[in-house]
Amino acid sequence: MATVHSYGAAEVVTGSCHLIQLQCGTTILVDCGMFQGLVEERNHKPFGFDPSEVDYLLITHGHLDHVGRIPKLVKEGFKGMIVTHRSTMDLAEIVLLDSAHLMEESYKTAFRKAQRRGKEREIPKPLYEREDVYAIFALPVRYTEYDEPIKLGSDILVNFKNAGHILDSAIIEIHIEEEGAKKSIVFSGDLGNDYDLVMSSPDIPEEAETLFIESTYGDRNHRGAQESSQELQRVILETFARGGNVLIPSFAIERTQEILCLLKQMYDRGDLPVCQVFLDSPMAIRATEVYKQYQEELSAQCQKYLERDGTIFDFPYLHYTLTVQDSRKINEVDSRCIIIAGAGMCNGGRILQHFKHRLWDERNALVFVGYQVEGTLGREIIDGAKRISIYHEEIIVKASVHTINGFSAHADQSGLIAWMEGFKKLGKVFLIHGERKKQEIFQSVIMKRLGKKAHIVKFAERIGV
Ligand SMILES: [Zn+2]
């Protein structure tokens, strides 16, 4: 019997990492992501398995919570083969170099402070550095395409299907033959929406004896895409009317491109007043370049823009501010600007400068367009914090705060249920990648709608499949 161990994204939404041990002796790892927010310290703990014994690393997509611990994996002995899309490796490089940079910077700051107390030896080294990121790219990689099954050894076939979540994100089907019996294990990866502007709808595999499904939004339904777009437009108009500006903390990959497409759509319709839109995130600018490089993979809407304008994301009000000088100049703009900046959960990045500059001013608006993990500044503000601390300075939150979840790159409860209903044959269901309370709600909905008892996976739990 094969076994699956969940070494991340068990009862939390980050740190995705699932180890599959097959009877034939082959060991496969699906994703190796970073823990974020409250569970961040887990990154420094041992994996729970020996990285040198992993034969294959399959990567569903390039988000940090799915690739963030790969440099640690390599540092600790992984020498196997990576199987993923070429664009996923490109995005992973951007994400991991950024992550290594942030860790190096915070290590330096902590080290300097500790030095003054004579306690620098107590400061833990960064999880990894840039050289560790480069080491990944020296490993053998087998690039895949959707629905082009790849044989790994004689009894294993893996197939990547479109998950519709970010560029080339995948649902991974693993077909194995053990003791003459065929089995399929499916990992949903992160699943997208049917109405995403940039990505096409997720595929649905035909069957799975065992399904590991994400459950980020298993407890709720998003507001519709149109409703969300109208809400964003309303916030923009109201904010501009009172002489303010709109701040949008955004994830560099996918959410940013989705918001750009949405603003372009408003501009096209004549619904976006004359303004300046700043994409103030070097990482998001680089990610947008990767999207452009693989533009043929994007939605039908993107293809229309490409045909009409020769570009998917650009429109006259949009400015890319790559340098620090250009970023600082945005501070001089008094009103009618929209600033899209990272980090998506406000735990670093240029958005903090904009918070410092504008959050205390009631004319401005702050719009959250993505999931805010527990323990992040974004979550603190959403939960109602009226005063926050940025670089040890207290800032009062007077800007209006809005959460528009319809832009989420994750399917909502109805989307997840509809996706499961699409399987011709579905066996056991295991819930991963979700907060416990939300998973419990999703579990009861699955029972009601599909008559299935879904199991909530615990950390390091061993599951026979
Ligand atoms: Zn993701």
285-312 confidence digits (pLDDT tens): 999 999 999 999 999 999 999 999 999 9
State how far the Cα of 336 lies from the Cα of 364, in Å rounded to an integer.
10
**How far away, in angstroms, is 254 Cα from ligand 1 center?**
9
Extract the tokens encoding 53: 């014994």
**How far away, in angstroms, is 112 Cα from ligand 1 center?**
34
Q: How far apart are the first and last CA of the chain?
A: 6
**How far away, in angstroms, is 140 Cα from ligand 1 center?**
24
Which one, of 128, 125, 127, 131, lies nearest residue 110 by Cα? 125
3-220+409-464 is classed CATH 3.60.15.10: yes
Extract the tokens encoding 438: 């939300």
Which amino acid is residue 267, in one-letter code?
Y
Which amino acid is residue 379, in one-letter code?
R
**3-class secondary-structure state, position 51:** helix
**How far away, in angstroms, is 11 Cα from ligand 1 center?**
16
**How far away, in angstroms, is 65 Cα from ligand 1 center?**
7
Which amino acid is residue 370, in one-letter code?
G
Q: Tell me: the pLDDT tens digits for 177-206?
A: 888 888 999 999 999 988 889 999 999 999
**How far away, in angstroms, is 198 Cα from ligand 1 center?**
15
Contact 61, 190 (CB under 8 A): yes
**How far away, in angstroms, is 67 Cα from ligand 1 center?**
10
**How far away, in angstroms, is 63 Cα from ligand 1 center?**
5
The whole-angstrom distance between residue 455's C-alpha and the CA centroid of its chain comes to: 24
**How far away, in angstroms, is 88 Cα from ligand 1 center?**
11
Q: What is the DSSP letter of 47?
A: -
Name residues of the chain where pLDDT drops below 70. Answer: none
**How far away, in angstroms, is 61 Cα from ligand 1 center?**
7
Alpha helices (runs of H) in 298-365, residue ranges in sequence order: 300-309, 324-329, 351-358
**How far away, in angstroms, is 90 Cα from ligand 1 center?**
15
Residues forming beta bridges with residue 426, ordered by sequence position: 208
Give the containing element (helix H, strand E) for 212.
Answer: strand 207-214
State how far the Cα of 211 lies from the Cα of 198, in Å rounded to an integer.
26
Q: Which residue has the tokens 């990285």?
A: 51
**How far away, in angstroms, is 265 Cα from ligand 1 center?**
24
Report residues near ion ligand 1: CB below 5 Å.
63, 190
The whole-angstrom distance between residue 264's C-alpha and the CA centroid of its chain comes to: 23
State how far the Cα of 157 lies from the Cα of 177, in Å rounded to an integer.
9
Extract the tokens encoding 439: 């998973």
Burial of 75 (0-12, 13-18, 19+ CB in 10 A): middle
State how far the Cα of 327 lies from the Cα of 450, in Å rounded to an integer.
50
**How far away, in angstroms, is 165 Cα from ligand 1 center?**
7
Contacts of residue 180, Cβ cutoff 8 Å, sequence gap at least 6 = none
State how far the Cα of 14 lies from the Cα of 8, in Å rounded to an integer.
7
**How far away, in angstroms, is 168 Cα from ligand 1 center?**
11
**How far away, in angstroms, is 334 Cα from ligand 1 center?**
35
| Fold classification of 225-407 (topology level) | Rossmann fold (3.40.50)
Over its C-alpha atoms, the chain yields an Rg (Å, rounded) of: 22
**How far away, in angstroms, is 276 Cα from ligand 1 center?**
29
Instruction: Tell if the pTM clears 0.75, that is, is over it.
Output: yes
**How far away, in angstroms, is 263 Cα from ligand 1 center?**
22
**How far away, in angstroms, is 324 Cα from ligand 1 center?**
28
**How far away, in angstroms, is 151 Cα from ligand 1 center?**
26
Extract the tokens encoding 290: 């990767």
State how far the Cα of 124 lies from the Cα of 110, in Å rounded to an integer.
9
Q: Any idea where the domains of the chain sit in the sequence?
A: 3-220+409-464, 225-407
Which amino acid is residue 260, in one-letter code?
L
Q: What are phi and psi of 407, to 5 degrees?
A: -90, 0
∠ CA 424-428-434, rounded to 5°? 105
State how far the Cα of 409 lies from the Cα of 62, in Å rounded to an integer.
13
- 3-state helix/strand/coil string of 274-312: CCEEEECCHHHHHHHHHHHHCHHHCCHHHHHHHHHHCCC
